[in-house]
Amino acid sequence: MKCVVQGCPGEMEERRIVHTFLRNRKPMVVEDLPALVCPVCGYAVLDLHVLDALFALDPETERPVRRAPVFRLSLAPAS
């Protein structure tokens, strides 16, 4: 499948991705998500049933498979 981004010549590839998002202002990480990814621009498309499962994921009841550290960079102001 051709990349959906207008003007991008890439062909989408099946890959497993890591998706990070905020739920109740807490960072959540979901790994091993099947997705179509464009190797040229990096655009990723999730299948509808994958999205449904992602939205249905309840962090209060679902048991995390592992935990990840969360970092914040301290960056000097650009001069």
Residues forming the site for Zn ion (CB under 5 A): 3, 5, 8, 10, 38, 40-41, 43
**DSSP state for residue 63 in the 8-state scheme:** P
Smallest separation, CB 19 to Zn ion (Å): 18
Q: Is 71 helix (H, G, I), strand (E, B) or coil?
A: coil
Q: Which is nearer to Zn ion, 7 or 77 (CB)?
A: 7
Place of tokens 């890959």: 15
Place of tokens 């790994």: 31
CB closer to Zn ion out of 8 and 46 = 8
Please state the separation of Cα 68 from the chain's center in Å. Answer: 15
**Residue number, 35 or 38, with CB nearest to Zn ion:** 38
